[in-house]
Amino acid sequence: MIARMRAFVFRYFVIFCIAFASCKETPRQEVRRLPDGLLLGTATAAYQVEGAWNEDGKTENIYDYLTHTNTCYATDCGNGDVAANSYHMYKRDVEMMRELGIDFYRFSLSWNRLLPTSFPDKINQAGVDYYNNLINEMLKYNIEPVVTLFHWDLPQKLQQLGGWTNPHVVDWFGDYVKVAFELFGDRVKYWITINEPHQVCYYGYGTEMLAPALNLTGEADYLCAKNLLLAHARAYHIYDQEFRPKQDGMIFITINTEWYEPASDSDDDVEAANDLIQFRWGQYAHPIYSKSGDFPDVMKKRIGELSEKQGFLRSRLPEMSQEEIDYVRGTSDLFGLNHYSTYFSYRNVSTEQYYSQILGPSFNSDSGALTYQLPEWRIGESPITMYVPWGFYNLLTYIRNEYDNIPVFITENGMATHGGLIDNDRVTYYRGYMSAMLDAIEEGSNIMGYTAWSLMDNFEWLRGYTERFGIYEIDFEDPARPRTPRKSAYVYKEIVRSRTIDMNYEPDMSIPMTIDA
């Protein structure tokens, strides 16, 4: 009954959004001003840019292991052994931040670089020095560090012990983050516990797309989800109780939140869109941000019923005790939000039959819904980039309504190209999505920061170096790894400088990118 009521409310919300979004396609102001206080920055992640995979005491993580044992895991058979070589080029990276004039830079810590045994019995001074040097170099120029504690690169040793499916990972993660808070918390005021939990659990434990590539969907991904939520909560409570009183920072989780739009206004399609929201990111948002906590009701109901039909003695979704529900609920100062695209969602009889007969017990069978995207949404060469800014607006509006307008920090937004300095499609993408963000802000959404993904080209997991997200291009064929600003870098610099989005601004790229006084 509760799930049906949620679908009913959601139906009228999306019908309103569809009607409103169509208005957003009309010509808008050519120049739009950003609100005062909105933080603007860029981001990367340790494995994707650092390189130096086995230097100065760093040990093996799950991506080192995966890309070395399956040398063509990535589309181009690449790996992060050298990547952008940021471990040795951090001063150039900070110089790029200064050229852009950004307020902050989001990066992640390598667990293995700090704790080579995976545990706090040994702290690697070389790793500590690297992050101290990066943080201090940024602060020298008033660039705020936003630090992600875990961005997918789990120590391989811990994976051999079960990784995120082992309940002891809650303690392991707590021990690691405590070291990080002690080492860097005097200067870091924004902490992100975990990046994109659905991607960690579903794509890493439920499929072979991300490390550790277990492909145990419908079981391992749910074990991962519960343990990851508890580990996030452990990090939050450690910071809140032991470090916040003296360090006075903020701590939150970042969730990848795509928008799911009903393919029609039928009950089935509206319910399918709502269910996908709950399964794909409500699975993590609901236990933390809702008043009731716990996994979404629709997940508990559907997985429980299907598990029983499939002959399991208990639900494949592990139960959270009331103590665990209370421990997780409210453990995020902000809503960290990554967003890239939008999907139409639907469900019908053939959908249900397909999933139950073909897939058997699985995450997709449990959610029981399908998605598609329209070909006209595609922008540029990359098949993974779809331009749907109205979906971003709908998403931000939904979060405002669903979670009492919690402050939102947009920690990733961007698009891939296949290279080249004249990236007009990326310029269009950023302008469109930032304008959709402004629409939501003007209607009351509490958005405190926006992050362009990414500062530079990097190792893009399964797609290696074939997909380029950077506003700075990197020549990976050159051992020197030169960084060159793309057109999008010039445009983003002007957005940061002027605090406006000018739809007609054309940069003069013959003038070298420089650091403003």
Which CATH number do you get for residue 243? 3.20.20.80
Q: Name the residue type at position 467.
A: E
What was the pLDDT predicted at 62?
98
Local confidence band at 104 (pLDDT 50, 70, 90 cut-offs): very high
Residue 78 lies in a domain: yes
Local confidence band at 25 (pLDDT 50, 70, 90 cut-offs): very low
Residue 357 lies in a domain: yes
Rounded average pLDDT over 289-309: 97
Please choose, from the candidates 316, 252, 255, 320, the residue with its C-alpha nearest in 3D space to the C-alpha of residue 284: 255
Residue 513 lies in a domain: no
Residue 117 lies in a domain: yes
Residue with tokens 């405190």, as numbered in its chain: 448
Name the pairing type of β-strands 39-43 and 447-453: parallel
Residue 517 lies in a domain: no
Which residues participate in catalysis according to the annotation? Answer: 196, 412
Average per-residue pLDDT for the chain? 94
Q: Each residue of 33-60: pLDDT tens digit?
A: 999 999 999 999 999 999 999 999 999 9
**Three-class secondary structure of residue 52 per DSSP:** coil
Sheet with 259-262, strands from edge to edge, namely 259-262, 342-346, 370-372
Please choose, from the candidates 399, 409, 489, the residue with its C-alpha nearest in 3D space to the C-alpha of residue 37: 409
Please choose, from the candidates 504, 517, 499, the residue with its C-alpha nearest in 3D space to the C-alpha of residue 40: 499
Rounded average pLDDT over 301-318: 96
The count of other CB atoms within 10 Å of the CB of residue 240 is 13
Local confidence band at 30 (pLDDT 50, 70, 90 cut-offs): confident
Please choose, from the candidates 111, 2, 99, the residue with its C-alpha nearest in 3D space to the C-alpha of residue 46: 111
Local confidence band at 17 (pLDDT 50, 70, 90 cut-offs): low
Long-range CB pairs of 167-172, under 8 A, 24+ apart, other chains included: 167/227, 167/230, 169/227, 169/228, 169/231, 170/227, 170/230, 170/231, 170/234, 171/234, 172/118, 172/119
Q: Each residue of 452-508: pLDDT tens digit?
A: 999 999 999 999 999 999 999 999 999 999 999 999 999 999 999 999 999 999 999
CB-facing half-sphere around the CA of 270: CA atoms within 13 A: 19
Name the pairing type of β-strands 472-474 and 483-485: antiparallel
Q: What is the phi/psi pair of residue 214, to 5°?
A: -80, -30
**Alpha carbons 213 and 220: distance in angstroms, whole number:** 11
Q: Name the residue type at position 380.
A: G
In total, how many domains does the chain have?
Answer: 1
DSSP assignment of 236-250 equals HHHIIIIIHHHH--E
What was the pLDDT predicted at 174?
99
Query: Could you give the angle at which helices 169-184 and 220-238 cross, rounded to 10 degrees?
Result: 40
Range of the domain at 360: 2-502
Rounded average pLDDT over 100-107: 98
Name the pairing type of β-strands 39-43 and 104-108: parallel
Local confidence band at 355 (pLDDT 50, 70, 90 cut-offs): low
> Exposed (0-12), middle (13-18) or buried (19+): which is 330, by Cβ within 10 Å?
middle
Say if CB 104 and CB 249 are below 8 A apart.
no
pTM of the entire predicted model: 0.95
**Alpha carbons 308 and 384: distance in angstroms, whole number:** 37
Local confidence band at 12 (pLDDT 50, 70, 90 cut-offs): very low
Residue 214 lies in a domain: yes
Residue 509 lies in a domain: no
Cα distances (angstroms) measured from residue 253 to each of 2, 32, 94, 279, 509: 27, 30, 25, 17, 37
**Alpha carbons 457 and 419: distance in angstroms, whole number:** 9
Residue 160 lies in a domain: yes
Query: Could you give the angle at which helices 267-277 and 297-309 cross, rounded to 10 degrees?
Result: 100
Bridge partners of 378, per DSSP, are 386
Whether the per-residue pLDDT at 5 is higher than 50: the answer is no
Local confidence band at 354 (pLDDT 50, 70, 90 cut-offs): low
**Three-class secondary structure of residue 476 per DSSP:** coil
**Alpha carbons 481 and 33: distance in angstroms, whole number:** 36
Q: Each residue of 222-260: pLDDT tens digit?
A: 999 999 999 999 999 999 999 999 999 999 999 999 999
**Alpha carbons 160 and 154: distance in angstroms, whole number:** 11
What was the pLDDT predicted at 500?
98
